[in-house]
Amino acid sequence: MISTFSFPTRILFGPGAVEKLPEEMAQRAMMKPLLVADEGLAKTAVFARVKNLVPGAVVFAAVDPNPTEKNALDGAEVYVSESCDSVIGVGGGSPLDAAKAIRLKVTHPLSLAEYDDLLDGWKKITADVPPYIAIATTAGTGSEVGRSTVITIEKTNRKTVIFSPHLIPSVAIDDPELTLDLPPQVTAGTGMDAYTHNVEAYLAKGFHPICDAIALEGARLASENLPRVMANPKDLEARGAMMMSSMMGAMAFQKGLGATHSLAHPLSSEFGMHHGTANAVLLPYVLEFNREVGQERLEKLARQAGVVDLIERTRELNRICGIQQRLRDYGIPESALAGLAKKAFEDGCHPSNPRPCSVEDLLYLYRQAW
């Protein structure tokens, strides 16, 4: 059996890395980029710092917390009308994913639904895309090093994965200084997202020892450093370790994810729940569900992190982060669970879960978490 492995991302990492932005733009002849962010970030000093480095940029800040097809289409329209020549995404997973979708739409005429990874849409994506620099301001999704975007398609109201090696950013900039002023709830949700990515990627079915090794270390970094940044948000070393964990999770989950993500995605598209927070709430219940087939790997994750039991450590991290343990605490009605389970079953993440999931299994997990 022949396996294919690929880790081509160019990454600038470390305090002050964002100051290299003009140099990276010059290398790619980027003269008039579309600067993509969300409305909240666009009002911050972090965004002002980036914008000052690219005075000729056109700002597009109309990105929802869970990016939508409309965000991508609106951004592409601005890109074309303003004669932009490149894209810079700034923020967490939402602006970075929206920027990827905008980058795709300015050169690819099909509807975004036709690029759905579940429909082998990657075969329709070519290298004809403008340069794209991704600047992370959170430590969660790792979208800046990934080759996929997750967009809610209007027709289905389903979070849709669009994947292609051509979507990988031209360069990723990970500067932990940009995360020092994150609100505690954002640090918590994004940090648990990074943790979940690493844990689920390691447990996922499939042969990928490179991703396994990255995920083991990424999970350890999150387990050790997330409590540090919650206790001291200005701990630059711990912030850097969380950014590394975030990147490692995104690299590792090219192997696959699991039921946690399939359950979390409809909670965002249907009820606007923060993706990382949804992952955090659901992960302990999914790990218990997987224990009978994944005990050996759970034990290895625990040893790597220096803890006795990974599931209990996950619950402890949630407590440290102030994340409630039940979906009802986030306004999810019990009456919605059956419909959510059907949408979760349509999601492309659970097929790589170590224990197969039926619609009934997914409904059981929602009920356990409710």
CA distance 57 to 36: 10
Query: Residue 1: is its pLDDT beyond 80?
Result: no
Q: Name the CATH superfamily, with its identifier, for domain 184-369.
A: Dehydroquinate synthase-like - alpha domain (1.20.1090.10)
CB atoms near residue 153 (< 10 Å)? 18
- DSSP notation for 204-260: SSS--HHHHHHHHHHHHHHHHHHHHHHH-TT-HHHHHHHHHHHHHHHHHTTS---HH
Instruction: Identify the band that residue 194 occupies on the pLDDT scale cut at 50, 70 and 90.
Output: very high
Q: Which residues pair with 346 in a beta bridge?
A: none
d(CA 362, CA 258): 11
How many angstroms separate the CA atoms of 28 and 9, rounded?
16
**pLDDT tops 70 at residue 172:** yes
Return the pLDDT at 49: 96
Q: What is the pLDDT of residue 93?
A: 86
- Both tokens of 77, joined, read 């329209």
What tokens were used for 163?
A: 């994947």
Confidence of residue 147 (pLDDT cuts 50, 70, 90): confident
The residue-averaged pLDDT of 248-277 equals 94
d(CA 181, CA 176): 10
Distance CA 144, CA 172 (A): 5
Full-model pTM: 0.91
Write the pLDDT tens digit of every residue in 304-318: 999 999 999 999 999
Cα–Cα distances in Å, from 186 out to 115, 138, 259? 30, 8, 23
Q: Where in the chain is the domain with CATH 3.40.50.1970?
A: 11-178
Output Rg (C-alpha) for the chain, integer angstroms.
19
Q: Write down the pLDDT at residue 6.
A: 66
- Cβ contact 41:93 at 8 Å: no
5 confidence band (pLDDT: 50, 70, 90)? low
Residue type, 358: S
**Once rounded to an integer, what is the mean pLDDT over residues 193-220?**
96
Summary mean pLDDT of the chain: 94
Q: Is the pLDDT of residue 282 over 80?
A: yes
Q: What's the mean pLDDT in 31-54?
A: 95
| Residue whose pair of structure tokens reads 């599931």 in the numeric block | 311
Q: Which CATH number fits domain 11-178: 3.40.50.1970, 1.20.140.10, 1.10.357.10, 3.40.50.300?
A: 3.40.50.1970
Tokens of 270: 């249907």
Asked whether residue 3 carries a pLDDT value surpassing 70, the answer given is: no
> pLDDT digits over 329-370, tens only?
999 999 999 999 999 999 989 999 999 999 999 999 999 999
% the chain with pLDDT above 90: 87
